[in-house]
Structure 1
Amino acid sequence: MSFVSPEFALLCLLFFPTYWSLANHPRAQRCFLIASSYALYATWVPLFAVVLAVYSTVIWALGRWMQRAASARLPVALGLWLAGSFLFSLKYYEFVRETFQAILQHTGFVSLLPVLNWVAPVGVSFFTFQAVSYLVMVGRAPNLARSWPDVLLFLSFWPTLFAGPIWRAEQFFAQTDRQRPARRVGSPRQGWLALYLIALGLVQKVVLASWLSAQVVDPVYKFPDQYASVSLAAAMLGYSMQIFLDFAGYTLIVTGLALLLGYRLPVNFRQPYLARNLSDFWTRWHVSLSSFIRDYIYIPLGGNRLGWGRTQLNVLSGMLVSGLWHGANWTFVVWGLLHGLGVVVQNMAKRWGMPVWPRWAAQILTFVFVSVAWVFFRADSLPQAIQMLQGLWHSPAGFWLSEQLPWWGLLGISGLVFGLSPWALTLQRLSVACLARLGSWGAAVLLALLLFAVLYGAPEGVPNFIYYRF
């Protein structure tokens, strides 16, 4: 069930009053939250909930083993192997099998690897990385092992279950352990801010991102040979805006929902199109993933401690993992390597003492690079991505506009994104203060009008978030 579906909105009207009424009974409230997480997960495929429960139980048992063992090395190693094998078999096995088979066809041999016809659970990449953070935390300090209900809640927390952000175990449990007389963890935090974030997220995703997808991006990517070069460039710009608004909208919605549950999510989005270089971009885009790869892959590989050349290799390895994490497709491999190579070139320029670009020029160059790389992220295959890029300077449909695209809408949305991004926090503070001054009834009327506007501008059906695929 999507967070932007009418069914989910109706369930929230029943869920939150019940959840808040249990604030003085933490155990009952925790059980209710766990049950709701598994019930929501089961709306996708009931078997997914069973798999998650078994998986979480295994992670909990490994933590208890570490707590009781003389040395945590064996259970940590076993747990990391199991988590990696679980993710690989569900998400990457078929990709490896098909690649291996394609290579063998050129040698006259036949692959004997069996076909595995199963569907990866939604959000498997996210809760697997969270499980890794829990195993590492307990491996370092076995006394931090948690109870079975705690682990169940950590890996199934429904605002972040489907598409993150990726919780660190220590961050999550620091909040669940907070017991303040004035406000327990199960009471809403910053209610006006939560409502503002949810409303803004709905506008960004349901109205703007969905419109870009339907009117600009999908038609061009479906038949790139039928569109002129300028229209291909417009589709690339459109997808840069779409994925920004889609991911920003998702982040705002789940952050607001978590606040209503009494939790503060880790920061996952910091206006990435204001970045001055690729390193800066990755401190702003999907922050929980990039910091996870830094702390659990880049630094264990040696980080920047083993010389400049080894550092660049570690950067490439981390970005390759980032690409593969997003999907089992060569398009994501190329996307990750492009970003890795871009960071390496940036480091080379810094090492050679090349002059620093003006801020505006650096931001434009970074955005252009990111937009070109998004082509591989969006394309269904490498040939389609290459066709899109080749069409920029030589398209069968010509160079200039030969078809109708909603240019004013695309340029208007792009102008909003670039114009308002530097002022996002200021607008947030002013809007929240305005809602607070309006009071409950005034804010309710304003939010109701906004909801009607969202429903009026929304496309037919329930649009899924892009990151639900990962």
Structure 2
Amino acid sequence: MSFLSPEFAYLALIFFPIYWLLSARPTVQKVFLLIASYSLYATWSYKTALFLGAYSSVVWLLGIWVRTGLNPAKKMKLSISFIFALSLLFVTKYYEFFRELLTQLLTQVGLPFFLPAVDVIVPVGISFFTFQAITYLLWEYQAKVKVSFLDLLLYLSFWPTLFAGPIIRAKDFHEQLYSQNFGKPMASSKAIYFIFLGLFQKMVLATWLANHYVDAVFKYPEEFLAVDTLHGILAYTLQIFFDFSGYTLIVTGFGLLLGFTLPLNFAQPYLSHNLKEFWQRWHISLSSFIRDFVYIPMGGNRRGFAWSQVNIFIAMLISGIWHGAGLGFLLWGVIHGVGLVGSNLLRRYVPLRLPAFCGQILTFLFVAFAWVFFKVSSMESALRLLERLSAPLGEFNLSWVYLWTFTLLFFLLSKYANWFESQMINWISRLNLWLLIPILCLIGYIIIELSPPGIPSFIYYQF
């Protein structure tokens, strides 16, 4: 069941009042939240819900195992636990991709090779709850905490973050689980603003860009000339932001209503002056996870500049592969790895300093180029689309004006997003409840009318 479906909206109107009424009985409230999380997940597939339950049970037992014993043994236990957590992700999401790749490569050089095909259902959100399981196991190793089975089940199935993040770390989640705010709505005005802004970003802006500029260009690139292709790439760059940022805003709002503060995931990334800054602003919960669990354990910058660049490239390669079992994701990670290493080399050895706005433009163009490989399924498809940029420009179309006007407004408003957010939250907080409800109903009606028919899927649901 999607967060955008009418069924979810109706159930939310029933769920939240009951949930808040149970705040005086935290254990009952946690059980109710757990049942709701698994029920929501089961609407996608009851088999994946059973898988999540079994996976969480093993992770909890591994956590108990990891926190016992002396340090040398604990390190070995932690490594084995990590292997288990990642092995299920590999089997369900990557095994078939690597099986076919190895078979093709070895067959071409005359070496017979065979691995059996494995037909499995990839659980929705497995990349996210796997990384959360890793943060739990490390927390157990470092702090020897005693997390109850109920709390661990709730952590890995927490419905606002279950499907597409943001990645909330075990320590942060459990501290909030036992805080005074648990089970009670927090910052209700901010929650309302986030939910409705997220709905508008996803249902109106992201779907408008997809329907008018993106889908046809990426599906049938040979039918479009240079400017239309360029606009398709520009529109997808904006679409994926509105899609994922909109999702994050919605679930962050729901988290506040449940009594949780979720980690910040976006900080106006397209205003970044370089790629390093971009990754400090885009999908922050993932980039910080890659930094803390991949880049730093490999040595970070402790072994000098040259090795730090190797570590950066490997970290970005893993970031690309994490998104999916496809050559496009791998190439996307390679492109960003090369871009980060290249920009670091330039800053170190070339004294030239460009004006700030030039850095913003170049960073945006680089990111937009890389998104092509993220969007398509193969190298051939990406090159076929990029080749269309050398085609004739094409005749003027009024839709070009709409997209460029929209893009300019987007960048202008992005600079004042924090100010606008504070103003809107203050305005909502001052409204009388009997005035707020009809206003929200009106806004919801406008969003529905402006959005296309059907229930659009979130891009990051596939990860």
On whether the aligned pair clears a TM of 0.5, the verdict is yes
Contact 1:216–1:235 (CA under 8 A) maintained in structure 2: yes
Q: Is 1:401 paired with 2:402?
A: no
Tell me whether 1:139 sits opposite 2:136 in the alignment: no
87, 90, 94: which one pairs with 1:88? 90
CA distance in 1, matches of 2:334, 2:231: 24
CA contact (8 A) 1:376 1:382 kept: yes
Q: Deviations over 1:268-311 (max 9, x none)?
A: 11000010000000000000000000000000000001111111
Report percent identity of matched pairs: 46
Instruction: Name the counterpart of 1:119.
Output: 121
Give, as a single letter, the amino acid of the residue that structure 1 aligns with 2:394: W
Residue 327 of structure 2 contacts residue 377 of structure 2 at CA under 8 Å; is this kept in 1?
A: no
Residues 401 and 329 of structure 1, relative CA distance in 2, 3 Å threshold: farther
- Distance in 2, matches of 1:405 and 1:219, equals 17
The total of aligned residue pairs comes to: 461
User: What amino acid does structure 2 have at the position aligned with 1:111?
Assistant: F
97 and 430 in structure 1: CA distance in 2 versus 1, 3 angstrom threshold: same
For 1:155-204, what per-residue CA distance to the aligned partner results, in whole angstroms no more than 9, with x for missing partners?
0000000000011111111111213xxxx311000111101110000000
**Which whole-Å CA distance do the structure 2 matches of 1:362 and 1:69 have between them?**
52
Equivalent position amino acid for 1:92 in 2: Y
Gaps in structure 2 of 5+ consecutive residues? none
Deviations 1:215-252 (A, max 9, x none): 11001111101100111000000001100111110111
Q: Is 1:251 aligned to residue 248 of structure 2?
A: yes
- 1:362 counterpart = 2:359: yes
Report the Cα distance in structure 2 between the residues aligned to 1:127 and 1:12, rounded to whole angstroms: 23
Cross-structure match for 2:312:
315
Q: CA deviation at 1:355?
A: 2.2
Could you say what the CA RMSD is over the residues aligned between the two structures, in angstroms?
1.3
The CA deviation at 1:63 is 1.1
Q: CA deviation at 1:145?
A: 3.1
Q: Distance in 2 between matches of 1:68 and 1:297?
A: 25
CA distance, structure 2, for counterparts of residue 210 and residue 238 of structure 1: 11
2:402 and 2:453 map into 1 onto residues whose CA distance is 19
Whether the 8 Å CA contact 2:209–2:236 is kept in 1: the answer is yes
Partner of 1:66 in structure 2? 66
Q: Once the two structures are superposed, what CA deviation does each residue of 1:309-361 show, in whole Å capped at 9, x if it has no partner? A: 11110000000000000011111111011111111111111111422211111
The answer to whether the 8 Å contact 2:96/2:118 transfers is: yes
Q: 2:314 and 2:91 mapped to 1: Cα distance?
A: 21
CA distance in 2, matches of 1:106, 1:313: 30
Amino acid aligned to 1:166: I
Structure-1 separation of matches of 2:436 and 2:425? 10
CA contact (8 A) 1:231 1:405 kept: no
**Conserved in 2, the CA contact under 8 Å of 1:231 and 1:401?**
no
TM-score of the aligned structures, taking structure 2 as reference length: 0.97
Secondary structure of the equivalent of 2:104?
helix
Q: Check the 8 A contact 2:255/2:262 in 1, yes or no.
A: yes
Q: Tell me how far apart the structure 2 counterparts of residues 416 and 327 of structure 1 sit (CA, whole Å).
A: 32
| TM-score normalised according to structure 1 size | 0.96
Q: 8 Å contact 1:208–1:413 — kept in the other structure?
A: no
Question: Are residues 302 and 68 of structure 1, via their aligned partners in 2, closer, same or farther at CA, if it must alter by over 3 Å?
Answer: closer
Q: 1:462 aligns with which of 446, 455, 460?
A: 455
Deviation, structure 1 residue 409: 3.4
**CA 23–13 in structure 1, closer or farther in 2 if over 3 Å, else same:** same
The 3-state SS of whatever aligns with 2:416 is helix
Aligned partners of 1:268 and 1:284 also within 8 Å: yes
- State the match for 1:194 in structure 2: 191
Matched, 1:443 2:436: yes
The answer as to whether partners of 1:95 and 1:329 remain within 8 angstroms in 2 is: yes
| Alpha-carbon offset, residue 57 of structure 1 | 0.5
Please show how residues 31-430 of structure 1 align to structure 2 within 5 Å. 31-70=31-70, 71-142=73-144, 144-179=145-180, 184-393=181-390, 395=391, 398-401=392-395, 406-430=399-423
Conservation of the 8 A alpha-carbon contact between 2:244 and 2:460 = yes
Distance 1:459 1:412 in 2: 21
Deviation at 1:407, TM superposition (A): 2.5
Partner of 1:432: 425
Q: Which amino acid aligns with 1:173?
A: H
Q: Aligned-pair distance for 1:389?
A: 1.3
1:165/1:265 contact within 8 Å kept = yes
Cα distance in 2 between the residues matched to 1:28 and 1:73: 36
Distance in 1 (CA, whole Å) between partners of 2:405 and 2:204 is 13
The separation in 1 between residues aligned to 2:160 and 2:341, in whole angstroms, is: 35
User: Cα distance, 1:254 vs. partner?
Assistant: 0.6
Indicate the larger mover: 380-389 or 271-280. 380-389
For residues 407-445 of structure 1, the C-alpha deviation after alignment (integer angstroms, 9 at most, x for no partner) is: 343223312321111111111111111112222122212
Distance 2:66 2:155 in 1: 18
Q: Say which SS state the counterpart of residue 264 (structure 1) adopts.
A: coil
Q: Which amino acid aligns with 2:158?
A: F
Q: What CA distance in whole angstroms lies between the structure 1 residues aligned with 2:377 and 2:89?
A: 22
1:405 CA drift (Å): 7.2
User: Corresponding residue for 1:27?
Assistant: 27
User: Quick check: 2:252–2:262 contact (8 Å CA) kept in 1?
Assistant: yes
